[in-house]
Amino acid sequence: MGGINALACRNRWLDLNQPVIMGVLNVTPDSFSDGGCWTSLDAAVTHASEMLASGATIIDIGGESTRPGAAEVSVSEELERVIPVLRNLRKQHPQAILSIDTSKPAVMRAALDAGAHMVNDVNALQTEGALEMLAGSDCGICLMHRQGTPVSMQLKPEYDDVVEEVGGFLAARLKACEAAGIDRRRIALDPGFGFGKTLQHNLKLLDDLAALRELGQPILAGLSRKSMLGKITGADTGDRMLASVVAAVLAVNNGADIVRVHDVSETRQGLRIWQAMRQHAG
Ligand code: 7PJ
């Protein structure tokens, strides 16, 4: 295996021949979409176990809220939130691929030491020291595009051509990774839905997701419960499951390999329909 059919994540290959579900595990007290219900260790591990049983292959553990306007979290606080969860999951679910959602090199290091297989960085390894840190490892990596910082990004997003600019940014980060000595078989790319984008930008990216595949890397898409779905349907955050499943299926149909979701079991059902259609087509 190799190339776009798989993603190298330390000692294993993540098989991308079928759509892969990445389940979101927020261990942030201020996370908007689940009200911070999973802050205690037991609750977090239980929720992750449920997502794995429902069809998630990857668990994305995040201790730093990246929603628009979120406060910054210190390294020590982030470590206190995520490391116990990682260690515990590593022990209880040795088959699971564990991803750490962070932009901080010190958290990446500690998470890899605790057994994480993948780093999901909404800052695309632009933090000082992040590239070098991961060049010394063999974990999987997700590079995500965003315009602006969590505080500023939704103020006034502007692009001449959003697909071209997001693609250009991801291509440049991919190149920076390779120049730092990171094998491209470790790298997935993500347009970063909702990160410094208007509804129109998000829709254009979703419609044209296939254009990003030309970069030759696996594509990850995160649309689950995002405000763009609320803008379209009028549904509040707690009531966006159906819209999220539809969005995940559309993303996969348009070229996403991995979908980052909260509602794993429902997404699995939706993707089964897509897979059945594909298999029928041969
Ligand atoms: C994303 C993410 C995403 C990747 C968040 C939320 C906001 N990581 N982390 N892609 N979104 N790779 O879940 O609504 O879209 S946090």
Question: What whole-number distance in Å separates Cα of residue 119 and Cα of residue 201?
Answer: 26
pLDDT tens sequence for the chain (282 residues): 334 899 999 999 999 999 999 999 998 765 445 555 555 888 899 999 999 999 999 999 999 876 666 777 889 989 989 999 999 999 999 999 999 999 999 999 999 999 999 999 999 999 999 999 999 999 999 999 999 877 777 778 999 999 999 999 999 999 999 999 999 999 999 999 999 999 999 999 999 999 999 999 999 999 999 999 999 999 999 999 999 999 999 999 999 999 999 999 999 999 999 999 999 876
Ligand 1 pocket test, candidate residues 21, 26, 122, 212, most atoms within 8 A of CB: 122
Measured distance CA(274)–CA(268) in Å, rounded: 10
Residue 14 included in any domain: yes
- Give the residue whose CA is nearest to atom 7 of ligand 1: 67
Does residue 231 carry a catalytic annotation? no
Look up the domain containing 221 and give its range.
Answer: 6-281
The reply to whether 1 falls in a domain is no
pLDDT reported for residue 180: 98
Cβ burial 26-37 (10 Å sphere, 16+ → b, else e): bbbeebbbbeee
Q: What is the DSSP letter of 257?
A: S
Q: Which of 225, 260, 272, 278 is catalytic?
A: 260
**pLDDT, position 2:** 37
pLDDT digits (tens, 9 = 90+) for 70-100: 777 889 989 989 999 999 999 999 999 999 9
Which DSSP string do the residues of 46-67 spell out, in sequence order?
HHHHHHHHTT-SEEEEE-S--S
* Three-state DSSP class for residue 277: helix
Q: Whose CA is nearest to atom 14 of ligand 1?
A: 226
Pocket of ligand 1 (CB under 6 A): 24, 33, 66-67, 101, 120, 122, 142, 144, 190, 192-193, 220, 222, 226, 260
Q: Which one of 22, 66, 219 would you pick to mutate in the ligand 1 pocket, going by the greatest count of ligand atoms within 8 A of its CB?
A: 66
> How many structural domains comprise the chain?
1
Which CATH number covers residue 261? Answer: 3.20.20.20
Using CA positions, which residue lies closest to atom 1 of ligand 1? Answer: 222
| DSSP bridge pairs for 277 | none
Dist CA 142 CA 9 (whole Å):
11
- The answer to whether 85 and 24 are in contact (CB under 8 A) is no
Out of 186, 204, 226, 240, the active site residue is: 226
pTM for the complete prediction?
0.95
Q: Which of 28, 153, 190, 209 to mutate to test the pocket of ligand 1 (most atoms within 8 A of CB)?
A: 190
> Would you say residue 210 lies in a domain?
yes
| Residue having the nearest C-alpha atom to atom 11 of ligand 1 | 222
User: What is the per-residue pLDDT for 28?
Assistant: 72
Check if 104 is active-site. Answer: no
Is 131 contained in some domain?
yes
| Burial of 279 (C-beta count, 10 Å sphere; 0-12/13-18/19+) | exposed
